[in-house]
Amino acid sequence: MTHRILLATLLAAINLATCAAQDTKPAFQARQAGRAAAEKLDWQIAVAAYSFRQFTFFETVDKVADLGVNLIEGFNFQKISGDIPGKLNPLTMSDDDMEKVRDKLRQSGVTMIALYYGSFPADEAQCRTVFQRSKELGVKYFVSEPKPELLPMLDKLAQEYGMIVGLHGHDKKSSPNTWHPELVVKQCQPFSAAIGAFSDTGHWLRSELEPSEGVEILKDRIVGFELHDLHAFDPSGHDVPLGTGVGKMAKMLETVAKVKQGPVLMSIEYVSNPDNPSQDVKQCLEFLDGQAIRLANSAP
């Protein structure tokens, strides 16, 4: 409980800081009702940088800010900028690169609230460096597929740093421990609320699992989602804007509002149009804002 209170306090501080930096931007102003509704539901809405994987991180930050969004989920193998050849990996970034990333985020009014960090090192000292330096960049959530034997250490570090490790999964072959929500619940069971589920609804759909059913299984272990809707309910499915595919995303979001108490990070990830995804992400954002307004208005 203490961990959740601390996280909620930190998330509120993030909202205040980034909102102040973006207050004058028309796209941000246009989302005022959606942001207020999301806040009432205890949701935060971000864009996953992987949607813009053909661009550098700095270019992606600009594109996310242009959409009126103040939160981003980074990924640790994205090139930082045209002038900085390194990747967005806190373990390997120089102090100078760290400072440049902080400056870029600050100037843009964007917080890197989450970081996809696929596999943590087994060495605790290196893991501690990842946590410490990620926190210095503003990160509160890791999206990851750690080896099960590392979870006790990650739980300890996450509690120490006031962060969350969200277990992520792809398909059954590549993610045998996390592809299904029942497996994620089983992995989370022995650990504190600092270990939770950060599920990808696109991979659920490709595995022929309805997102609302996955939510019902995870319940309070939910910490966030990478949100996708697909054109087909099978492994061939590709991304379409939220609400236009087979994912029954309105039902999924209703279920989240019903079963999950506490913060949820909703990260929009659109992978079908990497060269120019802004319009698709904008359509996803409009759907998510609209659903947040609908659900907040019907909330007690």
Burial class for 20, CB neighbours closer than 10 Å (0-12, 13-18, 19+) = exposed
Give the pLDDT of residue 92.
97
- Count of C-beta atoms within a 10 Å radius of residue 23: 11
Rounded CA-CA distance 31/114 in Å is 21
pTM value > 0.85: yes
Residues of the chain with pLDDT under 70: 1-24
> Which among 5, 1, 282, 6 is positioned nearest to 161, based on CA atoms?
6
For all residues of the chain together, what is the average pLDDT?
93
CATH topology of domain 2-298: TIM Barrel (3.20.20)
Q: Cβ distance 289 to 238 under 8 Å?
A: no
Per-residue pLDDT of 181-228, as tens digits, reads 999 999 999 999 999 999 999 999 999 999 999 999 999 999 999 999
Give the pLDDT of residue 28.
74
77-96 burial, b at 16+ Cβ within 10 Å, e below that, comes to ebbbbeebeebbbbeebeee
What pairs with residue 5 in β-bridges? Answer: none
Token pair listed for 186: 């089983």
Q: Cβ distance 244 to 207 under 8 Å?
A: no
> Which among 180, 176, 140 is positioned nearest to 161, based on CA atoms?
140
Token pair listed for 13: 């501080």
Per-residue pLDDT of 264-281, as tens digits, reads 999 999 999 999 999 999
Token pair listed for 157: 């570090």
- Domain residues of the chain, as ranges? 2-298
How far from 165 is each of 51, 133, 168, 175, 221, CA to CA, in Å? Answer: 21, 15, 9, 16, 11
Give the pLDDT of residue 136.
98
Q: Cβ distance 188 to 221 under 8 Å?
A: yes
Q: Cβ distance 126 to 92 under 8 Å?
A: no
